[in-house]
Amino acid sequence: MNVQTLLLEGAPAVRLQGPAGDAVIVLLRGAQVISWVDTRGVERLYRSPTSPLAGPQAVRGGVPVIFPQFSERGPLTRHGFARTHVWTLQSADPSVPEPHVVLQMQHAATELSLWPHGCTCTLTVALLPQGLRIALAVHNTGSTTLPFHAALHTYLEVGDITQATLTGVLPQQAVLSLDQPIDHVFEAVSGPFHLRSPASALRLEHSAFPDVVVWNPGPDAVLADLPSQGYARFVCVEAAAVANAVELAPGAWWVGAQTLLHSA
């Protein structure tokens, strides 16, 4: 595997090059994927050009890891601490056949009084022949039940949001038009999901994430780290476990994954 460590705009990162010219870049801060260039040389993820890579806020774009809290559904900082925590690069996992990188974050029960749970989170990012797979594993290293929410907050490049559609989240495969602002949790939808836009066509598959969050702020939203027309370039389709908290017994593991595949 061709793995390179580098510094991007002052932010430590790792770049994985695939055998067919595809590549993915992951920041150590937050284990955040910020770029996925596919085998056709096309960037599939959106990242705001006005969002600093080195913080202190989470980068707007790519795939922020939401854990252990979704939005403001709990006592912690919005979306939890994983997306601003520094993760460490690990050795490759011999059980994963594809080119991949592994990053890990350890959290002690004594670190935060508002969230007194010990855990280890591992993110595996793998380049597939026709796509990208991101898997989040959570290990309860504490002695009590670990409750958490999790999501992979994926910003997908669409080129023009007014011409983008998503199927799989509505009943009977009805088409969801994305030409209006949206911020919605679709509960208990198994997929697969199909995103079609001027930029690309993608098949989205989720494993162990029961929910999907779809978000685009629309033209009237004012976000400090997003250009005025930036909203038109992306839609977030998030593999998520947010409607109900995952309850993880002491010593137990949970693994959720999202796979992005080229679609005709």
The DSSP result for 97-151, as a single string, is -SSEEEEEEEE-TTS-TTS---EEEEEEEEEETTEEEEEEEEEE-SSS-EEEEEE
What is the span of the domain harbouring residue 218? 9-262
Assess if residue 1 is contained within a domain: no
pLDDT the model gives residue 258: 98
d(CA 93, CA 97): 9
Structure tokens at 216: 């685009």
pLDDT the model gives residue 264: 65
Give the residue from 155, 214, 161, 151 showing the smallest Cα distance to 183. Answer: 214
Assess if residue 153 is contained within a domain: yes
pLDDT along the chain (264 residues), means of 10: 91 95 96 95 95 90 96 75 94 92 93 89 96 98 95 97 97 95 96 94 97 96 92 97 96 98 83
pLDDT the model gives residue 1: 64
pLDDT the model gives residue 15: 98
pLDDT the model gives residue 111: 86
Assess if residue 120 is contained within a domain: yes
Assess if residue 46 is contained within a domain: yes
pLDDT the model gives residue 76: 76
Assess if residue 135 is contained within a domain: yes
Split into its structural domains, the chain has a count of: 1
Assess if residue 2 is contained within a domain: no
CATH number at residue 173: 2.70.98.10
Assess if residue 4 is contained within a domain: no
DSSP 61: B
Assess if residue 3 is contained within a domain: no
